[in-house]
């Protein structure tokens, strides 16, 4: 993020705004008089002007542009007009509308058989997919566009697409692919692309090598981009590449070489009032002096960074600043201040993690909305097909009736002409009427069947949507567990490592730190193991259902808990007289009974031996499996029963456990399209009722 603003300013802004400004009215006139040779240039000016126009005015302008394009006597402007509309939507963060407009442009280009217009639409579609977080779809569109540009021999657009592909792969951490695409873009566009894009290609290649810790290659390409920036006399890129060189050298531990590049970046940033970049450079230079144990100079640069803090709104900057201040005060034995800034660092880190989680969640929801829209469109198409089929059936019936009427008239005429054929004519008419009645009955039955199929499809769609909502809820729960349960041990490990005396390993104060580190690592391993169990449970949900004997499952459960049953003197009774066999997933039923029976023994009353009853009964269209015990029970008046089934929720702490069992039971029951209810009171045991489809 340290040079993000500079990069955008130096690469994208000149490309889109360098052309001469045109008023919309003059551009409308130019488009109305355009020819097949001149319309691409007209649309280039239109795109630049729309990007500087207020959204509502720009949107109205695109409608007029589409109208003008449709009246032109040649193909091509229609696709370009819809791309203009897509650009306006995308610029204002309306990704769904932008995609619809781009897809319309692509369909027009396909219909008119214009390969270059197809490629331009695919390239824009890739950019929009990237902006809404659908990177795999973006990659597909870019590759399709690239193939067309290659076939048409349009090298400049091919190089631009390779550049977009390289940046997309770097964004998704596919560094080898990023290097390959960017190097090809640089070679192919060395004579046609803007110098800033060429510098950006080499700079991003260097960043990819740095991300893979291949520092010698990173330095080679970073120096090349630095020399290109100097030759182009581009101060912004000189600052960017110099700062990146400093980062690489410092990563290598070569502070002497890093320092002059940081200072150059700092001076250029101050010269152009780019205070965010300057503040980051102050921190980098302070870190160099900290590593050289030159604390006085380090403090001077840190004070400068603190002075610019109000000018920088990036949370990444605050996290690095507080981390560096904590390190400085720790090295200068000012432990209170070190701890204070370490706390501030973790606070900012938590805020950053929350922002990233919310951003990822927004992308997931955007993808869900997109999939939902596609499903709705598919359903509307299906409804339209059904309506058309019904209309066709009505037309066929009308034609049949018309034909029959004509036939009747002909028969009446024949009857009038010849009484001798009366009997034959009446007989023929009777047969035809019977056939017509049968046809009408068939049409009626077909219509009833068609309505039933529509209802079934609608029900299937509702079930699918409910499954999507439930899976999204599971995804949010899983993200919550990762965000909260992994953070505590990791934060503790990081805190302990930061106070570990690395200079004197024999320091006695390191022993308790190592013990705490071991405890935190064990806790982290337990959390990861629990998460693995949850993922395994969700994987098993795809198993096929089979006919399962509850007697067999109970016998296996008792054998697995033999030692626990013997030790506790537990008594287990079963009653499967009403229902003994279920069509279900055997591993799930085994897990459900195992968790409920083991809990009944584990939370037994100290006043009596455990008595457990397992029985089945029929309730309406469902089978109710009940597991009842005489244990210590829980007080459900203080909270509803759903709290029992939450992850890591424990109602009693005197018995060892993790709060996973009932959570797994509830997830498995719901995966079987069932539900679970609980009845309990203190010292009166628990009764779990599981309702499954019969």
How does pLDDT run across 603-661, given as a tens digit for each residue?
Answer: 999 899 999 999 999 998 899 999 999 999 888 887 655 677 777 767 676 666 666 78
Dist. CA 449–CA 434, nearest whole Å: 23
Shared domain for 23 and 142, answered yes or no, is: yes
> Residue 12 domain-assigned?
no
- The range of the structural domain enclosing residue 536 comes to 489-540
Does 654 share its domain with 635? yes
The answer to whether residue 102 is domain-embedded is yes
Residue finishing a domain among 485, 505, 528: 485
Domain ends where: 133, 153, 173?
Answer: 153
Q: Which residues contact 519 (CB under 8 A, 6 or more apart)?
A: none
Domain CATH number, residue 131: 1.25.40.10
Using the predicted structure, report yes or no on whether residue 356 has a pLDDT greater than 60: yes
Mean pLDDT (the chain) is 83
- Residue at 177 is within a domain: no
Neighbouring C-alpha atoms within 13 Å toward the C-beta of 354:
8
Write phi, then psi, for 687 (nearest 5 degrees). -130, 115
The CA distance from 467 to 624, in Å, is 23
Residues 528 and 588 occupy one common structural domain = no
Q: Say if residue 685 is in the same domain as residue 648.
A: yes
The answer to whether the beta carbons of residues 190 and 198 sit under 8 Å apart is: yes
- Please give the pLDDT value at position 384: 67
Tell whether 582 and 639 lie within a shared domain.
Answer: yes
**Is 85 a domain residue?**
yes
Q: What is the count of structural domains for the chain?
A: 4
Task: With respect to residue 635, please indicate whether it lies within any of the assigned structural domains.
Answer: yes
Residues 580 and 509 in one domain: no
Is 318 within a domain?
no
Domain boundary among 462, 485, 508: 485
Do 444 and 564 reside in the same domain of the chain?
A: no
Same domain, yes or no: 529 and 436: no
User: Sorting pLDDT into bands at 50, 70 and 90, what band is 523?
Assistant: low
Say which residue the tokens 């500087």 belong to: 52
First to last CA, the chain: 58
Please tell me whether residues 137 and 72 are part of one structural domain: yes
Considering Cα of 567, then 571, then 577, then 583, what sign does the dihedral take? negative
Question: Looking at the structure, do residues 535 and 435 belong to the same domain, yes or no?
Answer: no
Q: What is the full DSSP assignment across 552-589?
A: HHHHHHHHHTHHHHHHHT-EEEEE-SS--EEEE-HHHH
The tens digit of pLDDT for each residue in 218-269 reads 999 999 999 999 999 998 899 999 999 999 998 888 888 989 998 988 888 8
- Determine how many CB atoms are found less than 10 A away from the CB of residue 407: 13
The answer as to whether 9 is a domain residue is no
246, 260, 262, 287, 622 from 253: Cα distances, Å: 11, 14, 14, 11, 69
Residue 59 and residue 115 in one domain: yes
Q: Indicate whether 167 pLDDT > 60.
A: yes
> Is residue 104 pLDDT above 80, yes or no?
yes
Question: Domain with 665 in it: what CATH number?
Answer: 3.30.565.10
Is 498 found in the same domain as 623? no
CB 662 within 8 A of CB 650: no
- CB count within 10 Å of CB 677 equals 13
Is 688 within the bounds of a domain? yes
> Tokens 């193939």 belong to which residue?
147
**Burial environment of residue 283 by CB neighbours within 10 A (0 to 12, 13 to 18, 19 or more):** buried
Which of 293-297, 421-425, 495-499 is predicted least confidently? 421-425
């Amino acid at each position: 993020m340290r040079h993000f603003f500079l990069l955008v300013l130096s690469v994208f802004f000149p490309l889109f705004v360098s052309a001469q400004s045109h008023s919309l009215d003059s551009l409308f006139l130019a488009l109305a008089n355009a020819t097949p040779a001149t319309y691409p240039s007209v649309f280039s000016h239109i795109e630049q002007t729309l990007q500087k126009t207020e959204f509502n005015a720009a949107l109205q302008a695109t409608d007029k542009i589409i109208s003008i394009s449709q009246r032109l006597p040649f193909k091509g402007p229609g696709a370009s007009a819809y791309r203009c509309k897509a650009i306006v939507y995308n610029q204002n963060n309306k990704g769904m509308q932008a995609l619809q407009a781009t897809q319309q442009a692509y369909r027009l280009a396909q219909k008119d058989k214009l390969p270059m217009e197809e490629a331009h639409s695919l390239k824009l579609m890739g950019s929009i997919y990237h902006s809404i977080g659908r990177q795999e779809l973006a990659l597909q569109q870019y590759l399709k566009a690239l193939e067309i540009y290659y076939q048409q021999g349009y090298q400049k657009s091919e190089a631009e697409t390779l550049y977009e592909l390289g940046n997309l792969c770097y964004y998704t951490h596919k560094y080898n692919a990023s290097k390959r695409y960017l190097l090809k873009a640089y070679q192919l566009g060395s004579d046609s692309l803007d110098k800033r894009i060429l510098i950006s290609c080499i700079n991003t290649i260097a960043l990819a090598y740095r991300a893979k810790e291949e520092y010698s290659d990173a330095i080679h390409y970073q120096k090349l981009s630095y020399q290109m920036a100097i030759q182009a006399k581009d101060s912004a890129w000189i600052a960017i590449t110099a700062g990146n060189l400093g980062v690489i050298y410092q990563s290598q531990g070569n502070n002497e070489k890093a320092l002059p590049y940081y200072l150059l970046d700092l001076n250029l940033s101050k010269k152009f009032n780019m205070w965010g970049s300057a503040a980051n450079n102050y921190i980098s230079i302070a870190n160099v002096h900290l590593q050289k144990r030159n604390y006085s100079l380090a403090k001077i640069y840190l004070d400068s960074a603190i002075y610019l803090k109000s000018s920088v709104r990036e949370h990444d900057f605050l996290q690095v600043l507080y981390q560096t201040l904590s390190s400085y005060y720790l090295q200068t034995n000012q432990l209170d201040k070190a701890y204070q800034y370490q706390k501030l660092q973790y606070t900012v880190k938590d805020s950053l993690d929350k922002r990233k989680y919310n951003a990822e969640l927004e992308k997931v929801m955007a993808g869900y909305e997109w999939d939902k829209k596609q499903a709705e469109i598919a359903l509307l198409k299906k409804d339209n097909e059904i309506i058309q089929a019904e209309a066709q059936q009505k037309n066929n019936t009308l034609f049949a009736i018309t034909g029959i009427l004509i036939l009747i008239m002909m028969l009446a005429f024949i009857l009038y002409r010849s009484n001798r054929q009366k009997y034959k004519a009446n007989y023929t008419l009777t047969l035809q009427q019977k056939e017509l009645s049968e046809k009408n009955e068939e049409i009626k039955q077909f219509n009833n069947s068609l309505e039933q199929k529509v209802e079934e499809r609608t029900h299937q769609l509702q079930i699918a949507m409910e499954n999507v909502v439930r899976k999204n809820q599971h995804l949010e729960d899983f993200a919550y567990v990762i965000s909260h349960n992994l953070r505590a041990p990791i934060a503790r490990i990081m805190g302990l490592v930061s106070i570990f005396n690395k200079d004197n390993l024999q320091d006695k104060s390191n022993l308790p730190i190592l013990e705490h580190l071991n405890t935190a690592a064990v806790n982290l391993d337990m959390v990861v193991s629990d998460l693995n169990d949850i993922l395994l449970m969700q994987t098993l949900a795809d198993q096929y259902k089979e006919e399962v004997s509850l007697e067999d499952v109970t016998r296996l459960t008792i054998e697995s808990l033999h030692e626990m049953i013997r030790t506790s003197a537990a008594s287990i009774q079963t009653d499967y007289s009403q229902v003994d066999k279920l069509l279900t997933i055997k591993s799930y039923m085994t897990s459900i009974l195992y968790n409920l029976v083991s809990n009944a023994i584990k939370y037994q009353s100290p006043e009596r031996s455990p008595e457990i009853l397992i029985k089945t009964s029929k309730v309406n269209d469902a089978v109710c499996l009940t597991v009842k015990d005489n244990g210590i029970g829980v007080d459900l008046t203080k909270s509803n029963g759903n709290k029992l089934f939450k992850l890591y929720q424990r109602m009693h702490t005197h018995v060892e456990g993790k709060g996973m069992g009932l959570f797994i039971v509830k997830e498995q029951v719901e995966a079987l399209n069932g539900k679970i209810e609980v009845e309990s009171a203190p010292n009166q045991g628990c009764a779990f009722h599981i309702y499954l489809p019969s």
